[in-house]
Homo-oligomer: A and B are copies of this chain.
């Protein structure tokens, strides 16, 4: 989310990216490898986890039992890079700007194309993403401090328990955005409209109550400045699923690089993350 875009970006490129098809083509060709915050406004963006089929059922169980941090919005056939319900032409091997590889729970590299790493037993799972509710909050005039300051949103490990799915478990990871007290109720109402994008916040106020000891020391992302009239507001975060995948130490997992999401064809406002009939 720190905004390093592909080099040699011209005004002409930027123009072609203003359509979903143009943007996807630019990502697919490698012309665009930057973060996706603010791109294709109104389209559902997705966290991506790609893992061997042997672990897919347990991972789905884990996500289904923890829908606030892990809202499943799409799934591929085993060995097939398509995600038909999220877009008719999606090829998950090329349609993220940037990927991370993990082997046995350890970081193993960052790439912009995973064709060489794809296997016949891989299954793609797509989860909703905070960009959706952030856009809705900003559209309602509720400022996002980390966006104003061009920082990655701060994320924290918590003591909030998850329901296990065999080898997948742990505690919830949350993201934090400081809000003025008067904005909190409206923010909750707005976010509740997006259950596929983490929904309403999980906690407002005292960080210690959810096991967060120091807001200035996030476990991921960067600390943001809190003003005296603000309270910290915590949302369930998609890093929860990545954390669970890595902790399980499974042989190969491919994810989006932070902030480099799949941009789907689905409208963020859709009641269900599937194509219109």
> Which A positions have Cβ atoms within 8 angstroms of B?
53, 56-57, 60-61, 64-68, 72, 74-75, 77-78, 84-85, 123, 160, 163, 165-166, 192, 195, 199-200, 202, 271-274, 277
Assembled-state Cα–Cα distance A26/B190 (Å): 42
Taking a contact as CB atoms under 8 Å apart, the answer to whether A277 and B75 are in contact is no
* Residues in chain B near residue A72, CB distance under 8 A: 64
Taking a contact as CB atoms under 8 Å apart, the answer to whether A75 and B64 are in contact is yes
Contact of A60 among B57, B68, B78 (CB under 8 A): B57
* Residues in chain B near residue A57, CB distance under 8 A: 53, 56-57, 60, 78, 123
Taking a contact as CB atoms under 8 Å apart, the answer to whether A75 and B61 are in contact is yes
* Residues in chain B near residue A160, CB distance under 8 A: 277
Taking a contact as CB atoms under 8 Å apart, the answer to whether B199 and A163 are in contact is no
Assembled-state Cα–Cα distance A61/B274 (Å): 13
Give 20 CB contacts A-B under 8 Å. A56-B57, A57-B123, A60-B64, A61-B77, A64-B75, A65-B74, A65-B75, A65-B84, A65-B274, A67-B272, A67-B273, A67-B274, A68-B272, A68-B274, A77-B166, A160-B277, A192-B271, A195-B195, A199-B271, A200-B271
Contact of A271 among B60, B75, B195, B274 (CB under 8 A): B195
Interface centre among A56, A61, A84, A202 (most CB of B within 10 A): A61
Closest chain-B Cβ to A155's Cβ sits at a distance in Å of 19
Taking a contact as CB atoms under 8 Å apart, the answer to whether A272 and B199 are in contact is yes
* Residues in chain B near residue A274, CB distance under 8 A: 65-68, 163
